[in-house]
């Protein structure tokens, strides 16, 4: 009703896929991104891709994600890396976790290719949001993607996380955009709307994405400070500035 043409569903698994697909059709929305299951949230899991000893659970979750993606006609799945085990030293387990992640990603790439789907890796900041998350910088994610070497695995660029971990957004956008398959936005540090007080100049960043040739979706993964629809004034202003009265890519 606010003009969007597409939506993300982080974890859709509480609802039957057919019900979600019907709701999306009725709303006139495309579903463009879902995540793999988080694992056991009660035990503190937040993804399983790089977690030693959880390979079988990751693969089961991947099959479930593919089932939902096909039902929703959703072409992208965020392959969640997961957290460094509690009590473990990040540096001590990094090599082992990367080996597990590479193994799982090669498997995922084959499974996804059979269904013409794309897998995404998202670095999540470890300074504010998730201190134990394994994958936390674009450089780390890009290096892993290079080692796997599969064209249907790409980078998910959440500018909120990238700013917190590394800054240098102009340089990083230009360097990594060729392997980016999806973009998400939120202001830093409060994770509010792009026009809320904070560090990021989204007029500049949106123009940068356009100038660099990005034509994919931008997900508004922020926490509204008040009413969601009222908080979209920044987007209506952007559409008017671009001469686009309707939502676009």
* Spatial distance between the Cα atoms of 13 and 62, rounded to a whole number of angstroms: 12
Q: What is the DSSP letter of 144?
A: H
Q: Please say whether the beta carbons of 108 and 150 come within 8 A.
A: no
* Spatial distance between the Cα atoms of 159 and 163, rounded to a whole number of angstroms: 6
Helix H or strand E segment including 154: strand 153-158
Instruction: Using alpha carbons, select from 29, 31, 35, 53 the residue that is nearest to residue 43.
Output: 53
Position of tokens 């955009």?
177
* Catalytic residue numbers, as ranges: 122, 221
The total of other beta-carbon atoms located within 10 Å of residue 91's CB is: 8
Residue 247, C-beta contacts closer than 8 angstroms, at least 6 positions apart: 2, 3, 4, 5, 235, 239
Instruction: Using alpha carbons, select from 12, 7, 14 the residue that is nearest to residue 28.
Output: 7
* Spatial distance between the Cα atoms of 118 and 181, rounded to a whole number of angstroms: 8
């Amino acid at each position: 009703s606010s003009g969007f043409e597409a939506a993300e569903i982080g974890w859709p698994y509480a609802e039957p896929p057919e019900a979600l697909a019907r709701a999306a059709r009725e709303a006139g929305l495309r579903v463009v991104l879902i995540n793999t299951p988080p694992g056991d949230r009660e035990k503190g899991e937040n993804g399983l891709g790089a977690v030693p000893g959880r390979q079988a659970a990751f693969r089961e979750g991947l099959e479930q994600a593919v089932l939902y993606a096909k039902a929703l006609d959703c072409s992208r799945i965020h392959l969640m890396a997961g957290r460094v085990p509690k009590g473990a030293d990040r540096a001590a387990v990094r090599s082992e976790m990367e080996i597990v992640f590479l193994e799982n990603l090669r498997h995922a790439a084959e499974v996804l290719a059979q269904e013409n789907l794309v897998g995404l890796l998202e670095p999540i900041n470890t300074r504010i949001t998730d201190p134990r998350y394994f994958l936390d910088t674009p450089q780390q994610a890009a290096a892993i993607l290079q080692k796997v070497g599969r064209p249907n695995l790409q980078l998910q660029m959440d500018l909120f996380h990238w700013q917190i971990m590394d800054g240098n957004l102009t340089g990083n956008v230009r360097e990594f955009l060729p392997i980016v398959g999806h973009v998400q936005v939120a202001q830093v540090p409060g994770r509010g709307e792009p026009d809320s007080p904070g560090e990021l100049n989204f007029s500049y960043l949106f123009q940068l994405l356009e100038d660099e040739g990005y034509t994919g979706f931008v997900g508004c993964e922020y926490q509204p400070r008040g009413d969601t629809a009222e908080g979209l004034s920044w987007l209506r202003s952007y559409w008017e500035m671009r001469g686009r009265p309707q939502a676009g890519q």
